[in-house]
Structure 1
């Protein structure tokens, strides 16, 4: 058997054991020597297999301690449930009080921001940057952009948390959110994102652009970056009452 096929087969067996629950989050894998004996493979082949699992975000390695199943469990975000159901509107209910204001800025809109908010490039926008925490772990980095004509003089321009949520503030300003458009994509993290979100080697980020609309115009752009192995989005389309039934 070719060496490449062998390490991929070993990785496939271990992946199946992790995803099937035989190896639970946080469990220590067998030592490299034990894996060599189990699979009748060389040390280099075993290390290639473990490297593949690391690149897939399934395993983390600690020098001198061994290899462990990654203990980050994905958080499910019910992405299109209404503000009435979640009490949070365009906020993510799963973050709750864990969303903390990190920065408040006034910036010139980039072409990308301007096109989504339908304002000229270079026009001023209020920027609120927050971090979301789940079980004490930083799970996301969110940047919210508000047109200046909406945010000026409002709580959106103060570097404090918004206990009632940004959607309620916007509604109080006469701009209730009627809907939103989501754009989701995956990519590899920047060095800064990898450090902030404690992302292991080979793990991508999940990037969300959510543009919130009133009945007549865009009122906010949310740019959210999640650790790719820590987020799961659920969209509910049409009649799913049977799904929600107890």
Structure 2
């Protein structure tokens, strides 16, 4: 093999670059490690408190963890950057869910003030924050609030929150079924029979054998005096039912 001075120079350059990179990594590690250790410790404490449903205490530790991760980022890390970004994303997600759990914990949703605070939290979430919270959990909390109002006889507020549940269109058939049934009941009691009918048909679209929905559907047809079209409505989708109502009335 022929001797090539350029090859030796390249090898020397590579070795020098590796040494330089190692020195940079060691310096970065020395500066950033204490901050990361504090952040990780706070993060782990937050998780423990959240697990034990001490959500307020957990929030304090989550905030401390986030602040320490931010401090680490301010050092403009080169080698730890991706790791810190992933940690920040994880801790923010857990922090948002911890606050969510705090807002719905205990009997908070049974009080008007608790509902106000919960709604303020949900409505003030930006698009980035919303992605961390499961839409099903939000829909379920709306349903629970609606159910509380329903039991208290506050049907207007119940209707409002059941509609919030329905509008999220979460992929949970039984929650959707129960939501549309409650909406249908409220509309029926308000003598809004056409709308009630469509909602009971929506129930059947999620649970074809729901006898309560069928019974209420029959009551709507009787009130509207269109019982002769019963089988058409039983086999209709909600959108088809809307058209069918217009045709037969």
Higher strand share: 1
Q: Taking structure 2 as the reference length, what is the TM-score of the superposition?
A: 0.26
If the length of structure 1 is used for normalisation, what is the TM-score? Answer: 0.27
Structure with the higher fraction of residues in helix conformation: 2
Structure whose CA Rg is larger: 2
